[in-house]
Amino acid sequence: MPHTPNPARGEVVVPLAGTPRRLCLILGALARIEAALGLQDWSALPERFARLSAGELLAVLAALLEGGGEDPAVPDGVSIPEAVAAVAAALAACA
pLDDT tens-digit series, residues 54-87: 999 999 999 999 999 999 999 999 999 999 999 9
* Packing angle, helices 80-93 and 54-67, rounded to 10: 50
- Residue 6's pLDDT is 80
Query: Is the residue at 49 inside a domain?
Result: yes
Query: Is the residue at 39 inside a domain?
Result: yes
Confidence of residue 4 (pLDDT cuts 50, 70, 90): confident
Query: Is the residue at 14 inside a domain?
Result: no
Query: Is the residue at 3 inside a domain?
Result: no
Query: Is the residue at 17 inside a domain?
Result: no
Return the SS3 of 14: strand
Query: Is the residue at 89 inside a domain?
Result: yes
Count: domains in the chain: 1
DSSP notation for 31-48: HHHHHHHT-SSGGGHHHH
- What is the span of the domain harbouring residue 43? 22-93
Query: Is the residue at 4 inside a domain?
Result: no
- Residue 2's pLDDT is 53
- Residue 10's pLDDT is 87
Query: Is the residue at 76 inside a domain?
Result: yes
